[in-house]
Structure 1
Amino acid sequence: MAAPQYVFDTKHDRYPLAVHVFLIQEMDCGGELPEEKVLLMRRAGSGYADGQLGLPAGHVDLGETPTTCAVREVAEELGVTLDPAELRPAGTMFRNSQEPRVDIFFTTRSWDGTPEIREPHKCTELVWADPQHLPGDALDFIEQAWNDAQNARVLREFGFAAAPV
């Protein structure tokens, strides 16, 4: 079988690199101990995975670092301010999507402000979810990215027929 022919994005002045951020918050859910939750956003209007839950994320622009992108995207999408020093690298995924994509994941437990929808044309709902039991409509790679982050796996190949386990 011939290798798939990919069409790389030529409409945007950016790398084929995206950044995703796990905003982690301890929440009192009525148990003995607070539960760890991550913020997910219901995607809309992009033509990719609309209606599904994803992380705050965005493409790294030319001349921008992944850390700077994470800070910028979270501010644009959620209206909160991240301290770059509080962002922790949480893994890299080479992912087969509409085009081959390299995703860099960060975690943080610290930010200024209260997350709110700032781009209603791109996001219709915010959901605090248990990262160990993500909703069924979360993007398929988020669970793997979370597991990799918890287990210090630095590289994952995802969505390819011959990808290692």
Structure 2
Amino acid sequence: MKTQVSTHLIHEKDGRHLMIRRAGSAYYPGFLSLVAGHVEPPETPLEALLREVEEEIGVRLAPGDVSFAKVLHRRLPDQIYIDYFFKAEHMPDALQICEPDKISEIGMFDLQAVRDQIVPYVWAVLTSPQTYQEFEERGLIPRL
């Protein structure tokens, strides 16, 4: 079984979360998710996050602009994911889609209003009372 490591950005302001709509992928196409991506060797999860944020939405963050939020161990039928989540308190208002082949929309969303459009594990993390604890394990998370 293969193990993947990924990194995600959480940004919440006034009860709304920064999310992107996935495009060009067989994994939950058209669903909302966080700005995220795989950690590429020899990157650390934080280095990968900073790279992904700039690649996907054109924002250059410094390591001090984000704080660690959570690690999620996620099991899929054919692979295991170790997901790192970081939180940014401040983001610029002007965000852009820099990878239109991967992202069709970017915006601030009320989670309850778009619940059925959010990738299930992202929904679980963002709505879990344990979101800002250091570690969590989840088995298979069914589709909504």
Partner of 2:49: 70
Q: Percent sequence identity over matched residues?
A: 29
Q: CA deviation at 1:43?
A: 0.5
Q: Secondary structure at the match of 1:61?
A: coil
Bigger radius of gyration, 1 or 2? 1
Partner of 1:83: 62
Q: CA deviation at 1:76?
A: 0.2
Which runs of 5 or more residues in structure 1 are unaligned?
Answer: 1-5, 9-14, 26-34
Partner of 1:130: 110
Q: Secondary structure at the match of 2:84?
A: strand
CA distance, structure 1, for counterparts of residue 84 and residue 128 of structure 2: 12
Partner of 1:36: 15
Q: Is 2:139 the partner of 1:159? A: yes
Q: CA deviation at 1:46?
A: 1.9
Deviating more after overlay: 57-66 vs 137-146:
137-146
Q: Is 2:82 the partner of 1:102? A: yes
CA distance, structure 1, for counterparts of residue 52 and residue 98 of structure 2: 11
Q: Identify if the C-alpha distance between structure 1 residues 134 and 155 changes in structure 2 by more than 3 Å, giving closer, same or farther.
A: farther
Q: Is 2:122 the partner of 1:142? A: yes
Which runs of 5 or more residues in structure 2 are unaligned?
Answer: none
Relative contact order, CA 8 A, sep 6+: which one is greater? Answer: 2
Partner of 2:39: 60
Question: Is the CA contact (8 Å cut-off) linking 1:79 and 1:114 kept in structure 2?
Answer: no
TM superposition score normalised by structure 1: 0.75
Partner of 2:26: 47
- Cα deviation, 1:86-118, whole Å, max 9, x if unaligned, reads 211111111123521000001102245721111
Q: What one-letter code is carried by the residue in structure 1 that aligns with 2:97?
A: I
Q: Identify if the C-alpha distance between structure 1 residues 81 and 93 changes in structure 2 by more than 3 Å, giving closer, same or farther.
A: same
Question: Is the CA contact (8 Å cut-off) linking 1:59 and 1:69 kept in structure 2?
Answer: yes
Q: CA deviation at 1:153?
A: 2.1
Q: Identify if the C-alpha distance between structure 1 residues 149 and 19 changes in structure 2 by more than 3 Å, giving closer, same or farther.
A: farther
